[in-house]
Amino acid sequence: MTTPTAIETLLRKFAAGDATLLAHMSADIDFRIDHFQDDEDVSWQSGQGLDAMGPILQRLATEVFPQGTKAKRIESTALDQSGWVMTTFEQEFFYGVRNCLCNSITYIISHEADGQVDFFRETVTNVVPLNT
C-alpha cells in the first residue's frame, strides 16, 4: 500500500467535512480555484496563507457545498520527484449557487513538502446538473 499524497488526504478530509484538513496545508499556502467558462464570481476563491483559508472554506461550505460533497474519484500522479502532483477530482454535490444536485470534474496541480500542500491550483472544468 502506498502512502497517500498530501493533496489526496486534504481532498478526502474536505469531502468528509473534517476541519483537520488545515493540518495538511502549509502556513504559507498559495491557493486558488479557477473556473472554465463560468460566469460566477469566484475571485474570493483564492488566498495566501492559512489565515486566508478560514474565510474561503467557510464560503465554500455555505455557498457552494451547503450539503457537503461526495468524492467519487480522486486520482493523483506525481509529476516529478520534487513534490508536484496532478490530481483529478470528481465529486457529486448539491450546488448552492444553482440550487441543484451536480457532478463536477476538476484538475488540481499542487506542490507539497513535508506532508503539507503549499501550492494549490484547481481548475473546475464543468459543473453538470444531475437529473433527479
Task: Identify the pLDDT of residue 38.
Answer: 74
The CATH number of the structural domain formed by 6-129 is 3.10.450.50
Distances (CA, A) of 67 to 8, 20, 83, 108: 21, 19, 32, 22
Task: Identify the pLDDT of residue 1.
Answer: 54
pLDDT one digit per residue (tens) for the chain, 132 residues:
577 899 999 999 999 999 899 999 999 999 999 988 777 788 899 999 999 999 999 999 999 999 999 999 999 999 988 999 999 999 999 998 889 999 999 999 999 999 999 999 999 998 899 975
